[in-house]
Amino acid sequence: MTLSTKILQRLLLATGILLCVFYLGVLAFRQASARMSVRGFETTRRTLASQPPRPVRVALPSTDVNFRSWAAARISAYKESLTGRFPPAIGVVRAPRLGIEVPLFEGTDELVLNRGVGRVGGTARPGEAGNMAIAGHRDGFFRGLKNISVGDPVTLDTGATLDTYVVDQITIVDKEDVSVLAQTREPVMTLITCYPFYYAGDAPRRYIVRCALKERRPHHAPAPSDVAQLSGGM
Residues 6+ apart with CB under 8 A from 169: 150, 208, 209, 210
Pairing state of beta strands 117-119 and 100-106? parallel
Whole-number pLDDT of residue 54: 44
**Domain parsing of the chain, residue ranges:** 3-230
Return the beta strands (E) in the chain as ranges: 91-95, 100-106, 117-119, 131-135, 153-157, 161-174, 188-195, 205-218
Q: Per CATH, which fold does 3-230 belong to? A: Sortase; Chain: A; (2.40.260)
Residue 11 has pLDDT above 70, yes or no: yes
C-beta of residue 206 within 8 angstroms of C-beta of residue 192: yes
The per-residue pLDDT for range 13-22, each reduced to its tens digit, is 777 777 666 6
* Predicted confidence band of residue 88 (pLDDT cuts 50, 70, 90): confident
Rank 2-16, 27-41, 86-100, 124-138 by mean pLDDT and report only the highest: 124-138
